[in-house]
Structure 1
Amino acid sequence: MYLFPHNSQWQEDFEREQRAILSAFCGAIDVFHIGSTAIEGLYAKDCIDVLGVVDDISAVAQSKQQLIDLGYVYKGEYGIVGRQYFSRPQAAPQSRQQGKQQRNPQRKTHLHIYQAGDMQIDKHLHFVKVMQGNSTLIAELNQLKRSLAAKYPNDKEAYKMHKKCFYDRLNCAN
């Protein structure tokens, strides 16, 4: 597991991504920053999670090529019924561009699109709402993440499984 202390660049990267998605998407879509990179002070993997909400999930088909043109790879539901999932790998920094190193290489991004009313939307937005500004919960989750990353450095599934208890506890309070 590669965990990083909060990086203020994550919010700027999300905003750039949000603008690109909004301009590429054919139709109406609401775009939210979700996951650990959305929480100031929280350790996270260096990957921006983006939530897209549409009135009709079938509308995603009309924008699939435009999202692919942004560098996303379409993965379908990818194990979660009702989701349309796109992943964009991190772009390798260009070695030299007019004598300068590229300042902001494109960060890895996951785009999760759901139809309005899907319970996954509330789960993702609830996490951000509860965690933002809650220093006690942020410290608790940071400690848990670092401990699990040290214990399971090469076992992503075990890391996620043991972290799930924390997330379940937050969702029960919803």
Structure 2
Amino acid sequence: MRTIRDLRNLSKKTALILAGLVIAALAVGGYLISNKSPATEAFQSEHISFVYSQDYQKQPIPAPATDSPQTLVLLRALEPARSIQLSFEKDAKTGASLTKQNFLDFLEANAESGFPRFYNGFSKEKIERRQVSGVEISDFRFSYTGKDNQTPVFIDYLIIPLGNDAYYMTIQSTDKQNLDSESSKLISSLKILK
């Protein structure tokens, strides 16, 4: 085993290599600590579960307006301002049955016609369908102008038909890159429990 006196006798080249290795190890350790994934929380209802970052805070659930979906969970976080809301509509399939439309087509058409009335400066980016836990859902991406008439707000709105009911998940942020990142993580964790 070498002593400190032995280390002094190392060649400059060996000492530089050892110092470089120590610095590299410290840099790698610092990088791993700083890039540690944020802690997460999980939400689970009877039919939907997902994981979200721990910086979101649960909010009081507002009383549903007449003929409006019931909010199951409302989460908010700051910097950037963002939120996640999961709502549930019982017997949402009734309208599709009466009009003899595919349930998801019916829900998409309702959303697309209603959003411009509810969201100032509504601008649709895309609508795409994807499979989650064997269920076809709709992913509706759009933006609007916030209540201050200046701040752009970006939304990923998921429409999840399940039996005769529908779930709606709104993921929104004032930062588009943040929405892309949060939405991707949340959707990859989304489980539909039949």
TM-score (norm 2): 0.33
Bigger strand share: 2
Tell me which structure has the larger Cα radius of gyration. Answer: 2
Bigger helix share: 1
Ranked by relative contact order (alpha carbons within 8 Å, sequence separation 6 or more), the top structure is: 1
